Structure 1
Amino acid sequence: MSSVQLPPSTLWLALGGLAVVTIQWLRRPTVLAKLPGPPAGDWLFGHIKDIRGDSGLEFQKQVFSTYGPTVSLKGTLGSEIVFTLDPAAIHTVQTKEKDKFHRPKGPAVLIRSIFGGGLLALSPDEHRVQRKLLNPVFNMKYLREPILSQMPIFMDIATEATKAIKKELASSKGGKKVDVFPWATAAALDLVGKAGLGFAFNSFSGERNEYSTAIKGVTQSFGNIGPFLMLLPYVHRIGTPAFRQWVLSIIPSTTIQKLRHAVKLQNEQAEEVLRARQALLSAGNDLSSVAGRGRDIMTLLMKANESEGSDSYIDRESMIGHMNVFIFAGHETTSTAVSRILEVLAQHPDVQVRLREELRQYFEANPNDTHHDALLELPYLDGIVREALRLYPPVAIIGRTCQEDTVLPLDYPVDTPAGKITSLPVKKGARILMSSVYFNRNKAIWGEQAEEFMPERWIGHKVDEVTQAGSRIPGVYSSMMTFGSGSYACIGFKFAVMEIS
């Protein structure tokens, strides 16, 4: 039987027709079109570049102040997006009806491609299983003592960072602005390396560390590739993994090639750490002389893996994925938070003075304390950390995709052409974006001084006394959206807070 040969013009016409139908389907009118919102200037990416660009926070602020707490934005090819800071809607999406809202596939595909796995890259069913296996190790009853035992290591790393900043200041003639972010990143990488993996990156040794250099560039690469996230799930289906890797290798993009290089280095480093630690554990060797002293999270996880039995086993590929994600997320969260804290301390000399006095009194009263567990409970230090994480969450926006038709309740009614609405019907496939930053700065929740840095708001008050009564507030950490909520909340947030403090 002979095959039918179609002329190229017919194929292009068919593809063009398919593209038109796809765009019309994406732009079909729904109830979301009745929501207020800004006009989209970019026909291809809609408001995605506005949200993810350098002026993304200013764009968010302008949108919410102009159009209200729940608005309609445009996504790729004119698709509709719900953008909200409404507590009731967020509580429904992240906690109450969490099974109806899954993480978008684009970021998950990107994370799986870069890190090889980890909780951020898993399907809902995979995530549920792996989260159950990891939860015991990240429980603070299990983790607190190992982490506190490493406080001398933390203090040494903090001292190294302080020396580096002082050296840079001393080398300047007259006044000089110092970018603390590189130093905070170096310190955070050393902290998460030793406490998380039992591996010494030695960021302050002066020696070039190819792995740490590569991982520092991943964040910027994420930002550059952001507008294309919607296309990744479709690209990921093309051909075999080997074919996709070949295609990636010939793309003339600095961003893509940096990511590929980081992937290679991460996997090699993770394999090396895993192999060496497994050999030590199998031989029953003393781990007190290695980085982390055998009390790091990865060693604890490997020991738990052996003791729990096959039903709770985490395979090698998943372990490497968890290691890669833990390094990236752990050091990125900490370095951003510490940099912000140093920035606000520079802007508020009175806060500096009060914090310094609290720390001076503590160290005078506890000169021989090596665990410093009481240090983490100092009220003003704790208030500064909470307030910095409230105003400057590491993730500005959290996204979800609706899996079935449902209705989102609204604490704040929305004006539409048909009148005020107190709930919002959403269809399967609808995209929901939730603003962590402006939820955390919402005056209806945090009061008129919501956008001001006020550590004292946390001192002597319970969390429900800090926020305004009557709001259904999601968030696993102090009623904030900083670390998310529900089953997808950051599993290591308590570790991160201890690390920052």
Structure 2
Amino acid sequence: MPVFMNIAEQTSACIKQDLSRAKSSSGEVDIFPWITAAALELVGEAGLGYSFGSFTGQRNEYNIAIKSVLRLMSQVAPYAKILPSLCNLGTAGFRRWAVRYIPIAIVQRLRYAVAVQNEQAEEVLRARQLLLSSGGDLCAEAGRGRDIMSLLMISNESEGSENHIDRQGMIGHMNTFVFAGHETTSTFVSRILSLLADLPRVQVKLREEVQSYFEEHEDESNHDALLELPYLDAVVRETLRLYTPVTQLVRINQKDTILPLQYPIRTPNGKVSNIPVKAGTRIVTSLHMANRYGKIWGERADEFWPDRWIGSKLDEVTESGTHLPGVYSAMMSFGAGSSSCIGFKFALLEIKVMVAVMVKSFKFEPSQHNPSQWETVGVQFPFLKSDPTGIERNPKLPLRVIEL
């Protein structure tokens, strides 16, 4: 928790610096770069035991490579329709060779950025292994030796060959953790702040709860109780329901099966209660629609209503006690089953701490001059309405920010 609070406070300080440079206690600030920087730094320190230097202004090649990959991945979205067929073409080695000859400039730029990212991950891994092998003091490093990657490397050294992870596997874990824990959480925190700007009554109620908590726990360094604040929890859950960062899940059916329908389909030939599904079928689940389905969520399914979560058990939140089989709450925003998001508790901790510190420090209002709109590019991103719809856009979320 101290790492999370420290980075959230650094983010607050950076936004205050933006305001001070404008010689004002209020003004329009593009909050998205700062929220993204915080998410990346949290993943670095708590996940890799490594600081990306997100708030220092110093050049960091790994940081630059990751940002390049994220930006280029959003720009390569227009070609997403051909990706599933390419992903099933030959072996992984063949695909790595073949992608070098795809005559699309953005794909080649992405390939180069990924190569640079892997090189930088290799450097981070080498330095971490050298520190471990020499008996260095991990407590002096970012993450204080309790980061996920250090624990994994220590376990890797002590386990037998059956559980050993090779070097490429470790690099893969690093890059996967960075992407899984960075992109979705930064956009989600930004979405909450955008919603609070549009819903001042919700923002005021949340601020009162958060400020009351910090006044009562002013001298504490461990803020675990922050995670239990009922209205903060309700705002996070309701935003996750209405505006899940990943709007759909894709799965491949492993064997022939019969899919039962909780809500049968009526056709001219009668009622369909189940659907046969052959092995190898690609199944797309719309989380966006499932989280807004009126038969599950009731008449207020499309309404942002955090109070639905206050004092309610899971079988009381939804209409007639129906809930989706997800790992979190009554929805599938973090997935379900063995392929669900293994880092969802990490993400929730990050989200709640960031939102609490931001709401305690600032009042947010919608931008009057540079309004944004949210678009799904793999993950939901904010873009300026005034920006052209080409692939070279960068996500931005200007809000009017008032220092408290």
Shorter-chain TM-score: what band? 0.7 to 0.9
Report if aligned partners of 1:271, 1:320 keep a CA contact under 8 Å in 2: yes
Of residues 288, 293, 314 in structure 2, which corresponds to 1:437? 288
Distance 1:474 1:244, change over 3 A: closer
Tell me by how many angstroms 1:165 deviates: 3.1
Cα distance in structure 1, aligned partners of 2:335 and 2:4: 26
Q: Which residue of 2 aligns with 1:408?
A: 259
Provide the aligned length of Structure 1 versus Structure 2: 348
Quick check: 1:319 aligned with 2:170? yes
Tell me by how many angstroms 1:344 deviates: 0.8
Q: Which residue of 2 aligns with 1:447?
A: 298
Report if aligned partners of 1:221, 1:259 keep a CA contact under 8 Å in 2: no
Query: 1:328-362: per-residue Cα shift (whole Å, max 9, x none)?
Result: 11001210110111011101111111111112111
Cα distance in structure 2, aligned partners of 1:189 and 1:467: 35
Distance 1:358 1:332, change over 3 A: same
Of residues 200, 212, 222 in structure 1, which corresponds to 2:51? 200
Query: 1:201-247: per-residue Cα shift (whole Å, max 9, x none)?
Result: 1122223442243233144045233111232135445xx93x75555
Q: Which residue of 2 aligns with 1:483?
A: 334
SS in 1 for 2:143: helix
Higher strand share: 2
Distance 1:234 1:284, change over 3 A: closer
Cα distance in structure 2, aligned partners of 1:231 and 1:498: 37
Q: Please give the residue correspondences for 1:355-434 in structure 2 after superposition, counting only pairs within 5 Å.
A: 355-434=206-285
Cα distance in structure 2, aligned partners of 1:263 and 1:212: 8
How high is the sequence identity, in percent, across the aligned residues?
Answer: 56
Cα distance in structure 2, aligned partners of 1:347 and 1:373: 29
Report if aligned partners of 1:288, 1:294 keep a CA contact under 8 Å in 2: yes
Q: Which residue of 2 aligns with 1:161?
A: 11
Of residues 208, 220, 224 in structure 1, which corresponds to 2:78? 224
Quick check: 1:290 aligned with 2:141? yes
Tell me by how many angstroms 1:287 deviates: 1.0
Report if aligned partners of 1:403, 1:428 keep a CA contact under 8 Å in 2: yes
Cα distance in structure 2, aligned partners of 1:422 and 1:248: 43
Cα distance in structure 2, aligned partners of 1:492 and 1:218: 24
Distance 1:226 1:191, change over 3 A: same
> Given the two structures, how large is their TM-score scaled by the length of structure 1?
0.65
Cα distance in structure 2, aligned partners of 1:491 and 1:254: 34
Letter in 2 for 1:161: T
SS in 2 for 1:185: helix
Q: Which residue of 2 aligns with 1:339?
A: 190
Distance 1:301 1:245, change over 3 A: closer
Q: Which residue of 2 aligns with 1:233?
A: 87
Report if aligned partners of 2:76, 2:107 keep a CA contact under 8 Å in 1: no
Cα distance in structure 2, aligned partners of 1:284 and 1:433: 48
Report if aligned partners of 2:323, 2:330 keep a CA contact under 8 Å in 1: no
Of residues 308, 314, 329 in structure 2, which corresponds to 1:457? 308
SS in 2 for 1:306: helix
Report if aligned partners of 1:214, 1:261 keep a CA contact under 8 Å in 2: no
Tell me by how many angstroms 1:411 deviates: 0.9
Tell me by how many angstroms 1:444 deviates: 1.5
Letter in 2 for 1:223: A
Cα distance in structure 2, aligned partners of 1:225 and 1:245: 17
Higher helix share: 1
Q: Which residue of 2 aligns with 1:93?
A: none
Report if aligned partners of 1:215, 1:328 keep a CA contact under 8 Å in 2: no
Quick check: 1:263 aligned with 2:114? yes
Tell me by how many angstroms 1:168 deviates: 3.9
Letter in 1 for 2:82: F
Cα distance in structure 2, aligned partners of 1:474 and 1:164: 40
Q: Please give the residue correspondences for 1:78-97 in structure 2 after superposition, counting only pairs within 5 Å.
A: none
Q: Which residue of 1 aligns with 2:356?
A: none
Report if aligned partners of 1:201, 1:212 keep a CA contact under 8 Å in 2: no
Cα distance in structure 1, aligned partners of 2:130 and 2:223: 32
Tell me by how many angstroms 1:177 deviates: 4.8
Structure 1, gaps ≥5 residues long:
1-147
Distance 1:186 1:414, change over 3 A: same
Tell me by how many angstroms 1:169 deviates: 4.8
SS in 2 for 1:422: strand
Letter in 2 for 1:297: I
Q: Which residue of 1 aligns with 2:65?
A: 211
Distance 1:429 1:311, change over 3 A: closer
Structure 2, gaps ≥5 residues long:
353-404
Letter in 1 for 2:313: K
Letter in 1 for 2:15: I
Query: 1:102-123: per-residue Cα shift (whole Å, max 9, x none)?
Result: xxxxxxxxxxxxxxxxxxxxxx
Distance 1:219 1:248, change over 3 A: closer
Q: Which residue of 2 aligns with 1:134?
A: none
SS in 2 for 1:369: coil
Cα distance in structure 1, aligned partners of 2:188 and 2:149: 23
Cα distance in structure 2, aligned partners of 1:360 and 1:258: 46
C-alpha RMSD of the superposition: 2.3
Report if aligned partners of 1:396, 1:437 keep a CA contact under 8 Å in 2: yes
Cα distance in structure 1, aligned partners of 2:96 and 2:130: 32
Distance 1:323 1:393, change over 3 A: same
Query: Bigger CA drift: 325-334 or 429-438?
Result: 429-438
Letter in 2 for 1:264: A
Query: 1:161-207: per-residue Cα shift (whole Å, max 9, x none)?
Result: 22333444556699965432222111111111111101111122223
Quick check: 1:181 aligned with 2:35? no
Cα distance in structure 2, aligned partners of 1:395 and 1:216: 15
Cα distance in structure 1, aligned partners of 2:294 and 2:19: 39
Distance 1:387 1:497, change over 3 A: same
Cα distance in structure 2, aligned partners of 1:406 and 1:213: 42
Report if aligned partners of 2:248, 2:286 keep a CA contact under 8 Å in 1: yes
